[in-house]
Structure 1
């Protein structure tokens, strides 16, 4: 079996566990492709995320949700996520169960869950897909921005706010949830459009089918703003830019052992 291996380089325990995982998989005659920065720690050949996506059958991430999202920007293969960070809502096992989980994957005792991603286009330029969310927000702290939201070119809402979040069902349990958006079951083919601190009592989240196009237009009185994808990729946007978001043909794929989405919500968000 061919494996990709990615970790959070800023966490010593994640790096240490990733090295142990490499040894564990190699001893069982698996081929392992380590991300470049991790490979440098062992004076070995490393691979970019694009190369790992081409070569691996399964990609292991060691860290938290941020490591998963960074990986999903380039990787379409199934991701087996091991939590060595914080809450790790998207991860499948905690670090102490890592080796047992890897053995289950090698034994074929798992399912692959597919989740929606968002296609993001600015002025006909396609940006990286979003597994969690796209945010458009003011680039200046404590300064309001003004925007309008459209669905299929029909005006839905106009308001002043700190920004707006367009989230996948996966992202509905993240930033969008904190901003007052609903939780979507990952099986729902929809996205959530949630204003961030809107200065308008009637401004509320919208649930929009993935096949429809959500447009975001900054109004002329808005200052320079940022479009951010999954908390990583960022692009400056202005009132001259045309932002369109819809469901992507690509999917985020996760290795799962059977724990349901509702169990995860109870265990990690309700407690």
Structure 2
């Protein structure tokens, strides 16, 4: 079994869990490849006792990989997706961060969980993505033109609101006067959109949610639409430019640039342990069903 590993090493004490993962994979005789920059960080870290310099490294992936392990938080998975792209390689998210809606394998249970996965005791949660077309010659986001969580527009260099003229399937919806607007997948509904008052959406739902960021009009509410929809955003404001982002990647565009957003032609496969589910993750992460009266 050929396995790729990626991480960013942002989290305290994560070296312990990285060592555990590598030990488990070696004991299973897996063919392990580590992202080149991540391996450099591992070998420079004093708290990792074993020298892993003998592992093979990669800078890009191909279809020969059976699994791709992401060690960190949800932000690390968003970057891991930029390696996997449309290859269909299942991603295993090991959570060494805080909340972790995407990275659902807990660091304290690495040995047991990885053994289950290597034995094929898991299911695949298929996640939709968004893609964006821009009527501008300048678009550095085009090389990685997909987002697992959301596409968002935000004001830049100003405290003034921006105007986001929004159309759905070519029909005018409204103009949001706000700090910005989020177009989110079901996966991204528990991220930026949720923090701005958007709904929680099950990843299996075929939908997209449009969530305004601090809207001027209080009747501007999040809107859930079918994921077959095409959304067009035209942004204007007092400043000459605005920010557009696809997950963690950001670009500046001139006012009155139109962004056309729709579902991407491929999906991302997330590994889910057999006894896990989205509902279980919600209960655990949002503390639903817990009695706090005592």
Normalising to structure 1: TM-score of the pair? Answer: 0.92
Residue number in structure 1 paired with 2:117: 105
Of 54, 64, 69 in structure 1, the residue corresponding to residue 73 of structure 2 is: 64
Conserved? CA contact 1:36–1:47, under 8 Å: yes
Residue number in structure 1 paired with 2:203: 186
Residues 16-35 of structure 1: pairs in structure 2 closer than 5 A: 16-35=16-35
Matched, 1:9 2:9: yes
Conserved? CA contact 1:133–1:171, under 8 Å: yes
CA 1:47–1:12 in structure 2 vs 1: closer, same or farther (change >3 Å)? farther
Of 233, 239, 246 in structure 1, the residue corresponding to residue 255 of structure 2 is: 239
Residues 1-271 of structure 1: pairs in structure 2 closer than 5 A: 1-40=1-40, 41=43, 42-44=52-54, 45-48=56-59, 50-51=60-61, 53-75=62-84, 76-123=88-135, 126=142, 127-140=144-157, 142-219=159-236, 221=238, 223-230=240-247, 232-257=248-273, 258-271=275-288
Equivalenced residue count is: 268
Deviations 1:199-224 (A, max 9, x none): 11221111121111101101364542
**Cα distance in 1 for residues equivalent to 2:81 and 2:254:** 27
| Worse-matched range after superposition: 237-246 or 18-27 | 18-27
| Worse-matched range after superposition: 79-88 or 15-24 | 15-24
| 1:74 match: secondary structure | helix
**Cα distance in 2 for residues equivalent to 1:36 and 1:15:** 16
**Cα distance in 2 for residues equivalent to 1:67 and 1:250:** 20
Residue number in structure 1 paired with 2:47: none
Conserved? CA contact 2:104–2:281, under 8 Å: no
**Cα distance in 2 for residues equivalent to 1:193 and 1:9:** 33
Deviations 1:6-49 (A, max 9, x none): 1122235224422332232123211011011122224354212x
Residue number in structure 1 paired with 2:48: none
Conserved? CA contact 1:157–1:203, under 8 Å: no
Unaligned runs of 5+ in 1: none
Conserved? CA contact 1:64–1:85, under 8 Å: yes
What is the alpha-carbon root mean square deviation over aligned residues?
1.8
Conserved? CA contact 2:153–2:244, under 8 Å: yes
Normalising to structure 2: TM-score of the pair? Answer: 0.85
